Chain A
Amino acid sequence: MSYDRAITVFSPDGHLFQVEYAMEAVKRGSAVVGIRGANCVVLGVERKAVAQLQDPRTIRKIAKLDDHLTIAFAGFTADARVLIEKARIEAQSYRLTCEDAPSIEYMARFIAKTQQSYTQRGGVRPFGVSSMIAGFDSNQAPQLYLTDPGGTYSAWKANAIGGRNEKAVQEFLEKNWTAGLADTDALRLVVRALLEVVDSGAKNMEIAILRPGAAVSMIPEAELQSIITDIEREQEEAKKATQEAQSS
């Protein structure tokens, strides 16, 4: 009966508070970092400490939308699940009607459109989810798109969503991202960015690397741990060097 009553309405000074509150919900989610390399896209997610009795394998923050499309999200897991399922159906529907794979931009636009429609309809609330969609375009160039609860989408070279300190990670990326990163360098950059907000240890993060024409590959824990140890050793040595320079 009162499903025509909108939940998201303008405030006198032009804010959509429900959308802004949804963005707050995203910030409370666990961190996601995405980086475009020269020939790869690397996605890293924070794995929050699981309860003792919980099976950690059932918590997946990096999901496959289609063979060539991967998505990572920050925010409400339940909302993300619904959004991902809608996106998967849309991807197959596109393939059925167009006999071709949907582009990353198309999927980002679809997800953004869906998120926007839930801010302009009666009886519903916005999705408390920001997502990062990664893949390659028809020229095998790496692509990374971001969507937010308001329904905006845009392409990025590198970005971070969610987590204790979204701003800090974004600033870190702005300082340290360079064009043309090789696979290993992109991987290290993602790990370094995550280490800004996540406790050290391979079991606290999950990294996926996408390469053109290949399936998504998750970095095994052993390899991840050695990268982390490497980075921390470098940071220790850098700190010692500056301390010695200061004291002398």
Chain B
Amino acid sequence: MDSIFGLVGNGYVLLAADAAAARSILVFKHDEDKIRQLDDKKLMATSGVAADNLNFGEYISKNMKLYELNNDVKMSPTATANYIRGELATALRKGPYQTNILLGAVDDDNNVSLHTLDYMASMAKVSFGAQGYASNFVLSILDREWKPELSQEEGLEIIRKCIHELHTRFLISQPKFVVKVVDHQGTRTIPL
């Protein structure tokens, strides 16, 4: 029931995720952070089965760190996306991770990218994306509003419109969202 979505703008990537951790009809908490920091310029939002999100997310996180220590350099955004996809693909025919991912990253030349991966190990580089039920509501808004080279304020406004749409039309109540940005300065959380 996770809602995650994101978009690429002028020198940044915005990722938003709902902050509810729930099971069946019970909400455990309203401050769950589903956007994981992989390194100082990479954010990975996960949706799907909570246990798999956590296990896979931590596994990827630690393996990225190991790569960094062994090779004295951080993995590039494309390499990271492909590595994650590879792990999903290998696990698929053994014990699949039911985790969908949005990976927002900035590389050393300040090029931004957003990759969307689903639990069956598909991968695409996109300008904006969404996973879960949210995609039914939010993709049409992003289709209409997104254009290249959005300023951070314009991008945030689109995110607010998406959240408003979910609040209006989505059956599941998700009052709180966590929004994070990654740009050449690094990652930070944006208070809406």
| CB neighbours of A93 from chain B (8 A) | 62
Minimal beta-carbon separation of B186 from chain A (angstroms):
16
| Cβ proximity bits B102-118 to A, threshold 8 Å, 1 near / 0 not | 00000000000000000
Q: What B residues does A64 contact at CB under 8 A? A: 69
Q: Are B66 and A92 in contact (CB under 8 A)?
A: yes
Report chain B residues within 8 Å CB of A96: 58-59, 62
State whether A65 touches B69 (Cβ < 8 A): yes
Q: How far is the CA of A62 from the CA of B58 in the complex (A)?
A: 28
Contact with B along A42-54 (1 / 0, CB 8 A): 0000000000000
* Chain B interface extent, by class: under 10
Encode contact with A along B62-97: 1 for CB under 8 Å, 0 otherwise: 110110011000000000000000000000000000
Distance between A70 CB and nearest chain B CB, rounded to angstroms: 11
Q: Say yes or no: A88 contacts B58, CB within 8 Å.
A: no
Tell me the bound Cα distance from A88 to B64 in angstroms. 12
Question: Does A66 lie within 8 Å of B69, measured CB to CB?
Answer: yes
* Bound form: Cα–Cα A96–B56 in Å: 11
Q: Is A92 touching B65 in the complex (CB atoms < 8 A)?
A: yes
A167 is an interface residue with CB less than 8 A from chain B: no
Whether, in the assembled complex, A95 has its beta carbon less than 8 Å from a beta carbon of chain B, the answer is yes
Residues on B with beta carbons closer than 8 Å to the beta carbon of A89 = 66
Given the complex of chains A and B, what is the CA–CA distance between A95 and B70 in angstroms? 16
Question: Are B62 and A85 neighbours in the complex by a CB distance under 8 Å?
Answer: no
Q: How far is the CB of A55 from chain B (nearest CB, A)?
A: 14
Q: Enumerate chain A residues within 8 angstroms of B63, measured Cβ to Cβ.
A: 92
Question: Are B69 and A88 in contact (CB-based, < 8 A)?
Answer: yes
List chain B residues, Cβ under 8 A from A88. Answer: 66, 69-70
Minimum CB–CB distance from A83 to chain B (whole Å) comes to 13
Chain A residue nearest to B63 (CB atoms) is: A92
Chain A CB count within 10 A is highest, among B58, B59, B62, for: B62
In the bound complex, do residue A92 and residue B62 qualify as a contact, i.e. CB atoms below 8 Å apart? yes
How many Å from the CB of B67 to the closest CB on chain A?
10
Chain A residues positioned under 8 Å from B58 (CB to CB): 96
Residue-wise interface mask of A (36-76) relative to B, using a CB-CB cutoff of 8 A (1 in contact, 0 not) = 00000000000000000000000000001110000000000
- How far, in angstroms, from A88 to B70 measured CA to CA in the complex? 8
Q: In the complex, A96 Cα to B70 Cα: how many Å?
A: 17
- The residues of B that contact A92 with a CB separation of less than 8 Å are 62-63, 65-66, 69
The 7 closest A-B pairs by CB, nearest first: A92-B62, A92-B66, A96-B62, A88-B69, A64-B69, A92-B65, A96-B58
State the B residues within 8 Å of A (CB). 58-59, 62-63, 65-66, 69-70
CB<8 Å pairs between A and B, sample of 18: A64-B69, A65-B69, A66-B65, A66-B69, A85-B70, A88-B66, A88-B69, A92-B62, A92-B63, A92-B65, A92-B66, A92-B69, A93-B62, A95-B62, A95-B65, A96-B58, A96-B59, A96-B62
Besides A64-B69, A96-B62, 5 other A-B contacts (C-beta < 8 A):
A85-B70, A88-B66, A92-B65, A93-B62, A95-B62
